[in-house]
Structure 1
């Protein structure tokens, strides 16, 4: 199990310094989030916090993920990148494939695609995308993108996407693992068919239920468990919890974003964030 640092919900000017610091401290990678916009009033239930409310402010930064990953790849050499999560059905598959493959090639094999289907209906309505068929469209998008990334002449004839023979260049230079986020049975099955699952921040009781379900769906898909990645965060990073995560098969344990006592996006200074990362690294990585 390797340790990662979440760098979502931060001032984008701080990201290069924090990414390089994470690499120097021995973190395997960083996770980066994304949202198109923040509505003045939240209508939808948010599944990734204890109180079902979003954890950021209207002024919280959400840079375009592939631009920031491409930029951060140029100030690091070994650090890996995982986006948590890129909402595929908000986009056109060809445009998404181009953005992702460009960032992946700039990273030289250091990118893991974290994909989800989204939770905010109002965000889908804003960009004129169907919210209700987003899961099925996501499945087709993954098929389309994998074809396009070969760099060969390809066709596709699905329920939602169709195109004649065409080619996208350049091809992917390196393997691009695809990890899927979400907690529904459909999301867990989608993850099991791909390369891994991305969780949120969890209590151990949740993990004890989710990981056996993932293992079951992976076996149903006829795919090996030992090549399956699991990325998640913990509310309590006790040694007992960390060891149990290792036993269950967690491969990437990420520290959650810098947050205040209420779980909201932090107002810590850059220096405080750097010191906080150093403290964790000394306790868990540099031993």
Structure 2
């Protein structure tokens, strides 16, 4: 099971210097991948949990690609309805090509109703839009001509990775599991327990995959590294459940409880060494 780190791209500690430090840490410590989160319009409900300044994930990942050579780079998760799908397809294909094929494309529907309102996107249609946009993006990654909006467009360049960058789909609701089964290379649930996965989540995923007529996607959860001993036990259980990747998130959930990057990196390095 490959370990990755979640790089905070928000708050007062989010600076180019800090991002560079995180990138060096990930590569030097042997983590396999690094991911960052996504918000476009930081409304007050978002800012209460993820305060500004909030750095754009794609711009930041492109910059990180230029100062790294090995670590894979991804989103946890891109909120697909926030952007036009042809734009997202082009940006992600460019990013995969410019990074030498290191993109992991994590996607989800999001939760911030006020952010949807600020962007003029109907919150009630977020699931349907995510499915529609995933279909467009996957087509754009693999075809030289794509029809959308009544026009035929050239989406090239295509990504480096074949057949396309891995798509990690987040969410635990029934609609999310159907989306994972239909589009996903991996399921990327956030803050779930091994017990819940064993008893409910994975059986539901297997049923959704069978209904979709596709292989069961891989398991790539994200957990908080608040209690290192608990996280260590859970990591072992995730591995027993067949998880291929595990993303470690050191952000405690509120800005008041946040630690410095140096403290978080010491915690991550100790955790990796303990496994």
Shorter-normalised TM range: 0.7 to 0.9
Q: Say yes or no: does 1:67 pair with 2:59.
A: yes
Alignment of 1:111-122 (within 5 A): 111-122=103-114
Q: Counterpart in 1 of 2:157?
A: 170
Shift of 1:37: 3.1
Alpha-carbon distance in structure 1 between the residues aligned to 2:110 and 2:67: 30
Distance change >3 Å, CA 239–CA 171, structure 1 → 2: closer
Q: Counterpart in 2 of 1:2?
A: 2
Q: Say yes or no: does 1:80 pair with 2:72.
A: yes
Q: Counterpart in 2 of 1:275?
A: 266
Distance change >3 Å, CA 84–CA 17, structure 1 → 2: same
Q: Counterpart in 1 of 2:136?
A: 144
More helix per residue: 1 or 2? Answer: 2
Provide the secondary structure at the position in 1 that maps to 2:110. coil
Out of 45, 49, 53, which is 1:55 matched to?
49
Deviations 1:225-245 (A, max 9, x none): 3x6242321565454422221
Q: Counterpart in 2 of 1:197?
A: 187
Shift of 1:54: 5.5
Q: Counterpart in 2 of 1:181?
A: 170
Shift of 1:91: 1.4
Alpha-carbon distance in structure 1 between the residues aligned to 2:123 and 2:180: 20
Conserved? CA contact 1:125–1:131, under 8 Å = yes
Alignment of 1:22-41 (within 5 A): 22-40=26-44
Conserved? CA contact 1:83–1:113, under 8 Å = yes
Mark the runs of 5 or more structure 1 residues left unpaired by the alignment.
Answer: 47-52, 157-161
Q: Which runs of 4+ in 1 moved over 6 A?
A: none
Alpha-carbon distance in structure 1 between the residues aligned to 2:72 and 2:133: 24
Alpha-carbon distance in structure 2 between the residues aligned to 1:153 and 1:80: 28
Conserved? CA contact 2:193–2:234, under 8 Å = no
Specify which structure has the bigger relative contact order, considering alpha-carbon pairs within 8 angstroms and separated by 6 or more residues. Answer: 1
Shift of 1:55: 3.2
Q: Counterpart in 2 of 1:50?
A: none
Out of 104, 121, 143, which is 1:129 matched to?
121
State TM-score, norm by structure 1: 0.83
Aligned pair count reads: 263
Over aligned residues, Cα RMSD in angstroms?
A: 2.3
Provide the secondary structure at the position in 1 that maps to 2:189. strand
Conserved? CA contact 1:31–1:81, under 8 Å = yes
Conserved? CA contact 1:67–1:103, under 8 Å = no
Provide the secondary structure at the position in 1 that maps to 2:124. coil
Provide the secondary structure at the position in 2 that maps to 1:133. helix
Provide the secondary structure at the position in 2 that maps to 1:155. strand
Conserved? CA contact 2:105–2:168, under 8 Å = yes
Shift of 1:258: 3.4
State TM-score, norm by structure 2: 0.86
Distance change >3 Å, CA 116–CA 12, structure 1 → 2: same
Deviations 1:22-58 (A, max 9, x none): 1111111112111123323x3xxx9xxxxxx9533x3
Mark the runs of 5 or more structure 2 residues left unpaired by the alignment.
Answer: none
